[in-house]
Amino acid sequence: MKFHVLLVAFWCLAVARPGFALAAGEGDASGEPAQILQAAESDFPAREMDLPQDWSAGGNESEAPGKDETQPVMASEPVSSEDSDQTPDLDPRAYHDLVREDDADFNDAEDFTNGELAMIKVADPIEPFNRAMFWVNDKLYFYLFKPIARSYRVVPEPARQSVSNFFSNLGTPVRFINSVLQLKFQDAGTELGRLVVNSTVGIGGLFDPAEKWFDLERKQEDFGQTLGHYGVGSGFYIVWPILGPSNARDTVGMAADFFMDPLLYFKMKPLERGGLRGLDKTTDLSLDKDSYEGLKRQSLDPYLDMRNFYHQFREGRIEQ
């Protein structure tokens, strides 16, 4: 009886040994099981499968917690923290080449910032002078111009809007000529139509039936925009006393627009002409909703913000 039991035990061990040999990485005389394991390890490294070394070395798979031995381990599982801390040594030149290749994969269409984070560069070689003039204009605004405009607000807003319409209609030649110079003939026709309609039906330009009834909107054109339209750069930034922010190109434009102003050709004294211009600016300031105050409240450096705003505003006008 004991002999039969020993015989059965030896037979079981003989049958089961190839399975243990394969699990342990031991091959027979031909070495095929060991070669299969080596090929598997080369195709599926333990690092990529996130397997502990004792498992890949032949440990009992049944001891792996939460793993079904019938399901293969996926190579896309997260890498352990120990492996993530081990970074291979790279040649700095190869690293920079790799970064450049990655950057080359992105085009402008994939730039979700759409250029909004780009820094605005404005030439400002006379910044000390400009800051001084900005300070002067700021004080004049708060202590002279704005109090006058607030006092002017006792006049009903429709009446002040009519005064603004009158001066806007008077400035039609400036907009018409610059539209023609830019070969914007449709805009020039719109300005001419507005002049005829508002000067007649609108009672000398006090009202704006051209826009209300005929959808003829006023165009914003001046000689500074005409120069920019033909590729003239803005030049350096400059702040003029009372006149406010400008640049080299727009300063030349203001001088040219001055000679297109119809008031220049009326028989009136310079003081009278200046008084009408002052009334025009005061009217516009009284209709303004305190935009400068809002900019200054939200700004750490109002000078820089005003400079950038002016640059963007003028470039946007030219691109229209």
Q: Return phi, psi of residue 82, to 5°.
A: -65, -40
Residue 235 neighbours by CB distance under 10 Å: 15
Q: Could you read off the pLDDT of 136-187 as tens digits, one per residue?
A: 999 999 999 999 999 999 999 999 999 999 999 999 999 999 999 999 999 9
Q: Given this model, what pLDDT does residue 97 score?
A: 52
Q: Given this model, what pLDDT does residue 219 score?
A: 94
Q: In the chain, what percentage of residues exceed pLDDT 70?
A: 63
Q: Could you read off the pLDDT of 60-109 as tens digits, one per residue?
A: 444 444 444 444 444 444 444 444 444 445 454 544 454 444 444 444 44
- Please classify residue 222 by burial: count the beta carbons closer than 10 Å to its beta carbon, then call 0-12 exposed, 13-18 middle and 19+ buried: buried
- Cα–Cα distance measured from residue 127 to residue 199, given in angstroms and rounded to the nearest whole number: 44
Residues 224/250, Cβ–Cβ less than 8 Å: yes
Per-residue pLDDT at 33 exceeds 90: no
Residues 44/75, Cβ–Cβ less than 8 Å: yes
- Cα–Cα distance measured from residue 107 to residue 13, given in angstroms and rounded to the nearest whole number: 66
Q: Given this model, what pLDDT does residue 6 score?
A: 42
Per-residue pLDDT at 193 exceeds 90: yes
Q: Could you read off the pLDDT of 248-271 as tens digits, one per residue?
A: 999 999 999 999 999 999 888 999
- In three-state secondary structure terms, 198 is helix
Q: Given this model, what pLDDT does residue 120 score?
A: 78
Q: Which helix (H) or strand (E) holds 20?
A: helix 2-24
- Cα–Cα distance measured from residue 109 to residue 114, given in angstroms and rounded to the nearest whole number: 8
- Looking at the whole model, is its pTM more than 0.85? no
Q: Could you read off the pLDDT of 204-225 as tens digits, one per residue?
A: 999 999 999 999 999 999 999 9
Confidence of residue 282 (pLDDT cuts 50, 70, 90): very high
Q: In the chain, what percentage of residues exceed pLDDT 90?
A: 59
Domain locations along the chain: 129-319
Per-residue pLDDT at 309 exceeds 80: yes
Residue 182 zone, left/alpha/beta (φ > 0; ψ -120 to 50; rest): alpha
Per-residue pLDDT at 130 exceeds 90: yes
Q: What mean pLDDT comes out for the span 292-311?
A: 94
Q: What is the 3-state secondary structure (H, E, C) of 31-99?
A: CHHHHHHHHHHHHCCHHHHCCCHHHHCCCCHHHCCCCCCCCCCCCCCCCCHHHHCCCCCCCHHHHHHHH
Q: What mean pLDDT comes out for the span 120-143?
A: 96
Residues 25/33, Cβ–Cβ less than 8 Å: yes
Q: Given this model, what pLDDT does residue 320 score?
A: 82
User: What is the amino acid identity at position 169?
Assistant: N
CA distances from 124 to 155, 230, 255 (A): 40, 23, 21
Sign of CA dihedral 286, 290, 295, 297: positive
